[in-house]
Amino acid sequence: MTTADLTLDAALSEWSAQYGDHTAVTDGQTAWDYRQLYEKTLVLADLLRKRGIVRGSRVIMQMTNTVWFPAVFFALSRIGAVPILCLPAHKELVIGGICRNAKPAAMIFTRRYLKFQYEEMAQNLAAQYGCAERLFFEDEFAALTSADADAALERERAVTDLPSADDLAFLSLSGGTTGIPKLIPRTHRDYLYNARVTAERAALSAESVMLNILPAAHNFALGTPGIIGTLMCGGTVVMQKYPDITEFFANVEAYGVTITSLVPALVNMCIRYRNLFDDDDVSSLRYVMVGGAMFRPEEAEAAERLMHCTVIQVFGMSEGMTFMTDCDAPEQVRWHDQGKPSAPEDEYRIVDADGNDVPDGEAGEIIVRGPYTIRGYYENPDANRRSFNSAGYYLTGDRALRTPEGNVRILGRVREQINRAGEKIMPAALEEWICRSENVLECAVIGVPDAELGHKICVYAVTEKPMTLQELNAFLKGEQVSDFYLPDLLRLTDALPLTPVGKVDKNELLRMLEQEERS
Ligand code: J2J
C-alpha cells in the first residue's frame, strides 16, 4: 500500500510512528505528542463503537477548537463513520435542516460556546432523531477515555475491518449563508491529497507551529493545509478556542507560532490591535495565510508590516480546489492576486455567460476541476445540475481574471454585481475606494432592489467619526470615481455582521435594510 492509499486514520498511525514524542496538538490545557494523539484516537474509536456507531453512521459533529477535535475526527474516520462537520456558529435552523436530510445516527456537541448553550438544542435534536443513546458532549471525553484505556487500546488494535481510501471520510457544509447548506462529500484519498499539496505550497515541516483560530470544522482550518497538513509534516497544531486577538498574539509568542490561517475580518482585527499594541513578540511568525473573502492590497501590506510576516493568499472552497500564492511570490503578486492551483492536475477556466473562455486579463466566472475537487454534492441532484457543468467542472460563482504572470485575481461574486440603471458595479471595487477614506475602518457594499434603477447602491460602514452620504460622495468624487459608482444610501454601524466562519454576511445586511424599510 502506498501513502496515497491510506485512510486518514491509517495516515495518523504512520505519523505517530514517524514523529512519536514530538508535540502534535495543544490547546493550552492539554498537550499530546503524536503517539498520545493516536492512542486517544484508538480509545475513542473503541468507545464510539461500543455505543453503536458503525461504518457509514452519519454523526453530527459540532465541536470547538480543543485537542479533542482531531482525536474524535480521526476516531470516526477509523470506524468509517461519517462526521458531518458543523461550525459552532450553526444553530438549530441549520443543524435541524441537516438532520432532516442526513438522518444522523449519533451527535457530538459542545455544551456551551461564547454565550450560547447548545445542550438543550442537542437534547431536543437527539430525541427527535433517535440518537439519545448516542449523544455526546465534548467535555465528557476526558473522563470517558481515562478508565480502562489499556484494554480499549488492545481491543481497537485487534480490529481488522477498516475503511479504505476511496470511502467517504466526512461531509462538510457549503459556505452559502442563506437556507440550509449543501453537504460536501470528501473521501480519505482526496482530503489527504488536498492537505499534502497545500502543505507543500505553504512550506510546512516538522518545525512548523500552526495556530488554528478559525473553527476546526472549516476546510481552511482542517485540511488546507490546516490541522491535517501540519500533522502530516510532523509539525505542532495549537488550537485556540475563541477568536480573541489578545490571546492570538499571546499564543504566537508562547508557542513560537510560525504560520496561521485567517479570514480578512480577523486580519483586520490583528492590524488594528498591532497598531495600538505592538509589544507581543511575533518574530517566530513567517507566514499568514489569508483567504475566504475579498482581501485588499492595503490590508495585505499592513498585515505584513505589522505582523512581520509574509502573506500567502488563498482562494479556496470547501468543494476542494485551492489557489495559493507562493511563499516567495513578489509583493506585486502577494498583495494583489490569489495565486495558482495547488496540484499539478488541477484545471480551471475563466468563462463568459455562455461558457466560452475569456482572454487573459478579462473577467469571467472561474470554474474548476481536479483530483480533490468534488464532482457533486451529497444526494442533491438539483444543486448538482446548477453547480456543475457537463464536463464535471464546479461552477464557483466567483468572478476572476488571469494576470499576465498566470495568477488568478478574484473580483467578487458573479451575482453580487450591481446593475444600476444599466451600469455594472462590482462591490469589491467600490469597497476598495471607500476604504481609502481615513475615516472608514471597514465597509461593505450591497445592491438593493429598486423599482426605477433596478438596483440602488447601499454602503454599510464602520467609521471613526460620523459621516454623511454627502461627505462620502464628496470624498469619492475627489478620488475621481465615476459618477455611476456613487452610493445611493449609507448606513453607519458598529460592526459588520459575519458568517459562521467570519466573512462579511451580505445577505444579513440586505435583511437589515429590508427590515429598516418595513418598520
Ligand atoms: C475572495 N473570495 C474568496 C478569496 C474564498 C481556504 C480558504 C478559503 C476557503 C473558503 C476554503 C477567497 N478572495 N481569497 O475552503 O480551504 C470565497 C469564494 C469561494 C467561497 C468558498 C479554504 N477565498 N472566497 O472560504 O467553502 O466566494 O471556503 O467560492 O467557506 O469563499 O467558501 P468556503
pLDDT band at 178, cuts 50/70/90?
low
| Cα 342 to Cα 481: distance, rounded to the nearest angstrom | 36
Share of the chain above pLDDT 70, in %: 99
pLDDT band at 110, cuts 50/70/90?
very high
Beta strands in 251-407 (DSSP E): 259-262, 287-291, 310-316, 322-324, 340-341, 347-351, 364-369, 394-402
- Check if the beta carbon of residue 311 is closer than 8 Å to that of residue 300: yes
pLDDT computed for residue 473 by the predictor: 96
- For 215, residues 6+ apart whose C-beta sits below 8 A from its C-beta are 64, 65, 87, 88, 89, 221, 500, 501
pLDDT digits (tens, 9 = 90+) for 397-413: 999 999 999 999 999 99
> Does residue 220 have its Cβ closer than 6 Å to ligand 1?
yes
Q: Residue 293 pLDDT > 70, yes or no?
A: yes
- Check if the beta carbon of residue 309 is closer than 8 Å to that of residue 285: yes
Residue keyed to cell 479556496: 316
Among 217, 170, 161, 208, which residue's Cα sits nearest to residue 191?
170
Amino acid at 192: L
> Does residue 222 have its Cβ closer than 6 Å to ligand 1?
no
Pick the CATH number of 417-518 from 3.40.50.1980, 3.40.395.10, 3.30.300.30, 1.10.540.10: 3.30.300.30
Among 102, 22, 32, 131, which residue's Cα sits nearest to residue 74?
32
pLDDT computed for residue 258 by the predictor: 98
pLDDT band at 1, cuts 50/70/90?
very low
- Check if the beta carbon of residue 435 is closer than 8 Å to that of residue 467: no
**How far is the centre of ligand 1, averaged over its atoms, from the C-alpha of 469 (Å)?**
31
> Does residue 225 have its Cβ closer than 6 Å to ligand 1?
no
- Check if the beta carbon of residue 330 is closer than 8 Å to that of residue 366: no
> Does residue 317 have its Cβ closer than 6 Å to ligand 1?
yes
pLDDT computed for residue 482 by the predictor: 84
The residue extents of the domains of the chain are 3-187, 244-415, 417-518
Which ligand 1 atom lies nearest to the CA of residue 397? 29
412 dihedral zone (left: phi>0; alpha: psi -120 to 50; beta): left
> Does residue 325 have its Cβ closer than 6 Å to ligand 1?
no
Q: Residue 147 pLDDT > 90, yes or no?
A: no
pLDDT digits (tens, 9 = 90+) for 465-492: 999 999 999 999 999 888 889 999 999 9
Question: Collapsing DSSP states into helix, strand and coil, what is residue 267?
Answer: helix
Burial zone of 493 (CB within 10 Å; 0-12 exposed, 13-18 middle, 19+ buried): middle
- Check if the beta carbon of residue 505 is closer than 8 Å to that of residue 497: yes
- For 181, residues 6+ apart whose C-beta sits below 8 A from its C-beta are 94, 98, 173, 174, 175
Shared fold status for 3-187 and 244-415: yes
**How far is the centre of ligand 1, averaged over its atoms, from the C-alpha of 317 (Å)?**
5
Q: Residue 79 pLDDT > 60, yes or no?
A: yes
Q: How distant, in Å, are the alpha carbons of 16, 36, 174, 263 from that of 70?
A: 14, 12, 21, 21
pLDDT computed for residue 177 by the predictor: 54
Burial zone of 177 (CB within 10 Å; 0-12 exposed, 13-18 middle, 19+ buried): middle
pLDDT computed for residue 452 by the predictor: 84
pLDDT computed for residue 176 by the predictor: 64
> Does residue 215 have its Cβ closer than 6 Å to ligand 1?
no
> Does residue 414 have its Cβ closer than 6 Å to ligand 1?
no
Among 189, 171, 209, 214, which residue's Cα sits nearest to residue 76?
171
pLDDT computed for residue 492 by the predictor: 97
pLDDT digits (tens, 9 = 90+) for 236-255: 999 999 999 999 999 999 99
pLDDT digits (tens, 9 = 90+) for 321-340: 999 999 999 999 999 999 99
**How far is the centre of ligand 1, averaged over its atoms, from the C-alpha of 81 (Å)?**
27
Task: Write out the H or E segment, with its range, that includes residue 183.
Answer: strand 183-187
pLDDT computed for residue 314 by the predictor: 98
| Cα 41 to Cα 4: distance, rounded to the nearest angstrom | 21
Task: Write out the H or E segment, with its range, that includes residue 144.
Answer: helix 141-144
**Which of 317, 338, 409 maximizes ligand 1 atoms within 8 Å of its Cβ, making it the mutation to test the pocket?**
317
Look at 518 and 182; give whichever has higher pLDDT.
182
Question: Collapsing DSSP states into helix, strand and coil, what is residue 244?
Answer: coil
Q: CA torsion, points 223, 57, 374, 188, in degrees to nearest 10?
A: 50
b/e map 143-166, b = 16+ CB within 10 Å: eebeeeeeebbebbeeeeeebebe
| Cα 387 to Cα 393: distance, rounded to the nearest angstrom | 8
At 337, phi and psi to the nearest 5? -120, 170
The protein residue with its alpha carbon nearest to ligand 1, atom 28, reads 317
**How far is the centre of ligand 1, averaged over its atoms, from the C-alpha of 14 (Å)?**
31
Q: What's the pTM value of the predicted model, to 2 decimals?
A: 0.93
| Cα 417 to Cα 446: distance, rounded to the nearest angstrom | 9
> Does residue 372 have its Cβ closer than 6 Å to ligand 1?
no
What is the average per-residue pLDDT within 67-81?
98
Does the domain at 3-187 match CATH 3.40.50.980? Answer given as yes
At 485, phi and psi to the nearest 5? -90, -5
| Cα 176 to Cα 296: distance, rounded to the nearest angstrom | 22
- Assigned fold of 244-415: Rossmann fold (3.40.50)
Q: Residue 2 pLDDT > 80, yes or no?
A: no
The protein residue with its alpha carbon nearest to ligand 1, atom 2, reads 293
> Does residue 366 have its Cβ closer than 6 Å to ligand 1?
no
> Does residue 316 have its Cβ closer than 6 Å to ligand 1?
yes
Q: Residue 167 pLDDT > 90, yes or no?
A: yes
Question: Collapsing DSSP states into helix, strand and coil, what is residue 154?
Answer: helix
pLDDT digits (tens, 9 = 90+) for 255-270: 999 999 999 989 999 9
